[in-house]
Amino acid sequence: MIKSSLIHYIQSFSLKEMKRFHLFVQSPYFCKNAGVQALVAYLADLYPHFDAENVNRQLVFQKVYGKTPYNEGKLKNLFSQCLKLVEQFWITEKILADEAAQHNALLQNIRERNLSKRFEKYFKSTPKTDYQNSQALYQKYQHCKEGDLFYIYQNNYQYNHLLEAQDQYLTHFYVSEKLRIACEMRNRQKILNLAFDFTETTSLIEHIGQDLTAYQNVPSVLIYRQIYLSLTEPQHSQHYFDLMELLDVHAARFPTDERRVLYFYGLNYCIGQINLGQKAFLQEMFLLFQKLLEKDLLLENGVLAEWHYKNIVTIALRLQAFEWVEHFIHEYKDNLSPTIVTNAYSYCLANFYYHTQEYAKALQLLNSVQYSTIIYNLDAKTLLLKIYYETDEEMALRSLIESFKHYLMRNKLIAKPKYIRYHNLFKLSLKSYKLKQIAKTLSKNKLTEEKEKLQNKIEEQKITNVEWLKSKLEEIS
């Protein structure tokens, strides 16, 4: 198969895009090269099945040029021209999708040609949009700018309000975009070892806070300000609830992709609070996930991200929403990516059976699926550990712990912190199980002493699923 940027580009097309690109190159305005048109027609017929047999150099050349002797340079030139057309197609499609940008470009052209009557007609017929994100504000600034330039050129000074509107929209655009970027910087700083300067942003936040009424009709400023506060002052949970109130009112004023990001900031806040031991945010996160499912904001091109699927199941199980989560596991199975659906579905269903104490069903699922990733292997083995512990399957438990120790040692791809957390869970689970076995033979004082020793070890070490381990130790009597 030809190793070419052109093939990679076309492989990224949806079926609809492939059809539109085929029409695009047939237009003599964009493409007058019959060879390029023939090449695209051939590739369109193949789409999406490109392989070594149907996309080799000699065959492609023959499909385009017939019996003409093969010429490597001619083929490379053809591919190069076609590649540029793909890029031109993407640009054109992006512009056609932005009605406001088209309208402002039209106004600019009419103004430059001094077509007064047409300008006034089109200036008054601004494309209607409910969006109030920073890009919408920028387009409104551009609209007012074109109007002001036109009327000044006409020596008409009755429209000075357009200059003021320009200033206002540009300010609102700048503030919105500045805050949006600052939120992403704060977010990225939590993940990566980065140092950003937030001096200007801090001053901007203080300035906005002194007169919030000035931005009461600018949802993007209000929302990103609230997100920024939740990132910088996570100890004040009211920031989260204020953000949710703003989103309930204004979320529809943002394009779908940005709306999704705004809610994801809320999800991340809940995760942070849960990790700090604020269990009340389990319910908050569950309610937020339900809201996002209802609004169809968790699906991207019909696909539900794997981590959303697992997180929703985990939270619902912790809240014992068993009927709801069983329905969810089955209902959204087909929305998972085909590459991970078997692992994700079987693990989540096994986890459900574990929580509802249907251990035989859970074991059947865990032992019948070959988990293909490290994460699922770790999670599945952890679930097996819990089941064997709670069903007193001593031989199976000891065998699992021994094999898991070797699995950790063999697998060099497991990061050291994760290795330590899982190693400690299995090691201390065995100690807890041994203590459970001999608990009845110990005096009350001796048992209390042994439990305290083990409790101290648990507190001192980093352990995954530590709450489960603590609860098992607490049950020993």
Q: Is the pLDDT of residue 3 over 80?
A: no
Question: Phi-psi region for residue 320, left (φ > 0), alpha (ψ -120 to 50) or beta?
Answer: left
Produce one character per residue of 185-200: b if its CB has 16 or more CB atoms within 10 Å, e if not: bbbeeeeeeeeeeeee
Instruction: Report the C-alpha gap between 208 and 222 in whole angstroms.
Output: 9
Q: Is the pLDDT of residue 2 over 80?
A: no
What pLDDT, in 10s, does the model give residues 373-392?
A: 888 899 999 999 999 999 99
Backbone angles phi, psi at 299, to 5 degrees: -90, 130
- 261 and 227 in contact (C-beta within 8 Å)? no
Give the pLDDT score at 152.
Answer: 86
- Who has greater pLDDT, 472 or 190? 472
**Average pLDDT across the chain, whole number:** 93
Q: How confident is the model at residue 157 (pLDDT cuts 50, 70, 90)?
A: confident
> What number is the average pLDDT over the span 7-22?
94
Give the pLDDT score at 145.
Answer: 94
> What number is the average pLDDT over the span 63-69?
92
Report cis status (omega within 30 of 0) of the bond before 48. yes
Give the pLDDT score at 275.
Answer: 84
Place of tokens 């009605």: 99
- Who has greater pLDDT, 352 or 3? 352
The model scores a pTM over 0.75: yes
> What number is the average pLDDT over the span 29-42?
95
> What number is the average pLDDT over the span 118-130?
86
> What number is the average pLDDT over the span 12-25?
96
* Residue among 89, 3, 1 nearest 49 (CA): 1
Rg (the chain; Cα; Å): 31
What pLDDT, in 10s, does the model give residues 201-250?
A: 999 999 999 999 999 999 999 999 999 999 999 999 999 999 999 999 99
What pLDDT, in 10s, does the model give residues 267-324?
A: 999 999 998 889 999 999 999 999 999 999 999 989 999 999 999 999 999 999 999 9
- Who has greater pLDDT, 194 or 212? 212
Give the pLDDT score at 1.
Answer: 53
Instruction: Sort strands 299-300 and 303-304 into parallel, antiparallel or unpaired.
Output: antiparallel
Q: Is the pLDDT of residue 371 over 80?
A: no
Quick one: what percent of the chain has pLDDT higher than 90? 82
Angle between helix axes 280-294 and 306-318 (nearest 10 degrees) is 130
Give the pLDDT score at 190.
Answer: 83
Quick one: what percent of the chain has pLDDT higher than 70? 100
What residues does 303 pair with on adjacent strands? Answer: 300
